[in-house]
Amino acid sequence: MIRFDIPDDETLLLRDTAERFVADHYGLAQRNVMLEQPPEQVPPHWGEMAELGWLAAAVPEAAGGLGLSAAQLVPMLEVLGRGLVLEPVGPVAMKCAATLARALPDAGAELEPILSGERIALVAEGAPGAPVSAVKTGGALVLSGVAPLVMAGPWAQVFWVVAELDGAPVLMRIPAEAADVTPVRLVDGQVAARVCFDGVRCAQEDVVTGCAEALAYGRDMALVGVLAEMSGLVDALHGATLDYVKLREQFGRAIGRFQVVQHRMSEMFIRREEVHSMARLAAEAMEGDDAAFRGKLVSAARVKIAKDARVVMRDAVQLHGGIGVTDELAVGHMLKRLLVLSQVEGGRASHLKRFRALIGL
C-alpha cells in the first residue's frame, strides 16, 4: 500500500550516518585522488560501509540482513548518490544481495560473507537480446556469452550469472577467476568490466533454477537503488544551481533576480519534487506481492526520473554558464554520474516499453 509515511528513526539514522560518511571521506579533492587509482583496486571504504550495515540493510532478517524496507533506504541512497561515492553499494546490496535473498532457498550462508564486506558478489547479465547461454554436458553445465558491462566488475570474487537454459533463466555461481574480466573505465570515472564466459563449466549444485520471479524482483530493487541515487543527485544539482544564481551577478544584480532565470529555477524545483516523489513511490511499490503493480510503478518512476534528470542536468549547466562546463565544480561530476545512472538497469525507452505492456498498450 502506498503511504508516503514520513521517515522513521531508523531511516533518519541511516541517512545521517551516510551524510557524516560523505562529509568525512568524499570531498571533491579526496575523490579525485581515488579516481586515479588503478581500476583493479577496490575503493578504500568498502569495509567501513559493511560495518555500518549498508550492505545488509535491504536483506530480510531471515537471510541475515537488517530487514529494512526499500523506502527506508531511499534517503541514505540519496546521500550516497549526491556524495558521488565509488564503492558499489547499489550493485552489491540492492541488486546482488536482494536477488540472492529471494532466489536461494537458504540464502544466509551465501550472503554472510557478502554482507560483511569480505566478498564482493555481482549479478552478471548479457546484453538485451544476447543472453549468456548454458548447455548441459554430462553432469555439468557449460556457460558461454558476454556480460558487456558489469558495474564494479573487476572487484568481484564471484559472479552470479543470469543465463538461459532451455529457454528459461537460471542463476549460476561462477568464481571470478573462471571468467575473462576486462576492466572498463566509465565516463564518470567509475569502474565496470566486460566479463566473458567462454565454455566455463559449472557444477549442478551451483545452478539455481526457477528464479524468474527473484530476478524480476532483484532488477526492480536495483532500479530503486539507482533512482534513489539519481534523486539525491538531482536534489544536489538543484541546490548548487540555486545557490549560484543567488550569488552570480551580471548587469549589476544577482542573475536570480531575472524572471527568466526564476522561472527556469521553478521548473527545476518542480522536477526535483517529482523525482523525489517517484523515487519514493518506486520504493514503496517494492512492498506487497503484486508484481505487476510493482513493475508498473518502478518502470513509471524510471521513465519520469530519467526525463526529469536530463532537464535538470541541462539547466544546471546552462544556468552556471561557462563555469558549469568545467571539471572544477561538482556540477560536472554529478552530471556524469547521472548520465551513467540513466543508462543502467534498463534506460528510459526500455522501461516505457515495459510500462506500456503492463497497462495493455
Binding site for other proteins (CB under 8 A): 1-6, 242, 245-246, 256-257, 259, 261-263, 265-267, 269-270, 273-274, 276-278, 280-281, 293, 296-297, 300, 303-304, 352, 355-356, 359, 361
**Rounded to the nearest whole angstrom, what is the least distance from the CB of residue 254 to other proteins in the complex?**
8
**Rounded to the nearest whole angstrom, what is the least distance from the CB of residue 6 to other proteins in the complex?**
5
Work out the burial of residue 167: count CB atoms within 10 Å of its CB; fewer than 13 is exposed, 13-18 middle, 19 or more buried.
Answer: exposed
**Rounded to the nearest whole angstrom, what is the least distance from the CB of residue 307 to other proteins in the complex?**
8
Q: Indicate the helix (H) or strand (E) that contains 8.
A: none
Q: CB-wise, 127 or 270, nearer to other proteins?
A: 270
Number of CB atoms found within 10 A of residue 132's CB: 26
**Rounded to the nearest whole angstrom, what is the least distance from the CB of residue 239 to other proteins in the complex?**
10
**Rounded to the nearest whole angstrom, what is the least distance from the CB of residue 268 to other proteins in the complex?**
9
**Rounded to the nearest whole angstrom, what is the least distance from the CB of residue 270 to other proteins in the complex?**
4
- 46: Cβ contacts below 8 Å, ≥ 6 apart: 87, 117, 120
Q: CB-wise, 6 or 29, nearer to other proteins?
A: 6
In degrees, rounded to 5, the angle at the alpha carbon of residue 355 between the alpha carbons of residues 225 and 132 is: 65
Q: CB-wise, 31 or 280, nearer to other proteins?
A: 280
Give the count of alpha carbons within 13 A of 213, CB side only. Answer: 10
- Contact (CB, 8 A) for 284 and 3: yes
* Chain centroid to CA 338: 11
Q: CB-wise, 102 or 304, nearer to other proteins?
A: 304
Task: Give the cell for residue 30.
Answer: 579526496
Q: Using only the alpha carbons of the chain, give its radius of gyration.
A: 21
Q: CB-wise, 74 or 207, nearer to other proteins?
A: 74
Q: CB-wise, 137 or 269, nearer to other proteins?
A: 269
